[in-house]
Amino acid sequence: MPESEDWPEGKPIEAPDRERAVDARTGSPAAAARIQQQHLWVDQQIRVAMAKGEFDDLPGAGKPIKGLGGDPDPEWWLKRYVEREQIAVLPLSLQLRKEDAELDGRLDRLASERQVREALEDFNERVVAARYQLPEGPPLITMPRDVEDEVTAWRERRDARQRALAERARAARAEKPARRWWRRRTP
């Protein structure tokens, strides 16, 4: 590699008593020198971008940075994540109560009886485990569900949905007059 590509201003002057720095990956002293001078290249790229106006009109420009100068909170990142993602942090008893209220709808979206049984068993395990923990928040009033009764109810709801779909399909076919195969289409 020619010297002009490594060092545009000419070959650097080296002291005879110093060892030349060598890059661990390539074994090249020129690569080691480039890595040592990388911060200058980054600064140059920032100056060029500023001259082009790429940093103009950024969101939050001219506004103070949130949380700067306040008390240092070691869990600031967690609080911002919860706020940004709108995560509701509830005590376990309220989480289980909410899940119990939404469980039938969640079960109705499952496709097989095996999946319904697994979801119910998982729910029941968490309810029983919560009963053996120290209560935090309101008392736990959620009870485990009977798997066989819930599977039977799921089957009945599924069959009712299928009958309703079949009825709607029959009604749609009855509304639409049957076309005879020998008739021509008219535009």
Interval 86-116: pLDDT, tens: 887 788 899 999 999 999 999 999 999 999 9
For the cut 50, the answer to whether the pLDDT of residue 14 exceeds it is yes
For the cut 70, the answer to whether the pLDDT of residue 178 exceeds it is no
Read off the pTM: 0.50
pLDDT at 148 (0 to 100): 95
Q: Tell me the residue type at 97.
A: R
pLDDT at 47 (0 to 100): 94
Q: How far apart are CA 77 and CA 83, in angstroms?
A: 10
pLDDT at 59 (0 to 100): 83
Confidence category of residue 185, pLDDT binned at 50, 70, 90? low
For the cut 90, the answer to whether the pLDDT of residue 173 exceeds it is no
pLDDT at 3 (0 to 100): 47
pLDDT at 162 (0 to 100): 93
pLDDT at 16 (0 to 100): 46
Tokens of 71: 């008390």
pLDDT at 4 (0 to 100): 46
- For the chain, give the percent of residues with pLDDT over 70: 79
Q: What is the pLDDT of residues 27-68, one digit of tens each?
A: 777 777 777 888 888 999 999 999 999 988 888 888 887 767
pLDDT, greater one: 48 or 25: 48
pLDDT at 160 (0 to 100): 95
Q: Would you list the domain boundaries of the chain?
A: 14-52, 92-173
Terminal C-alpha separation, the chain: 74
With DSSP H G I counted as helix, E B as strand and the rest as coil, what are the percentages for the chain, rounded to 5? 55, 0, 45
Q: How far apart are CA 80 and CA 67, in angstroms?
A: 10
Residue 1: CB atoms within 10 A of its CB come to: 7
Q: What angle do the packed helices 147-175 and 113-131 form, to 10 degrees? A: 140
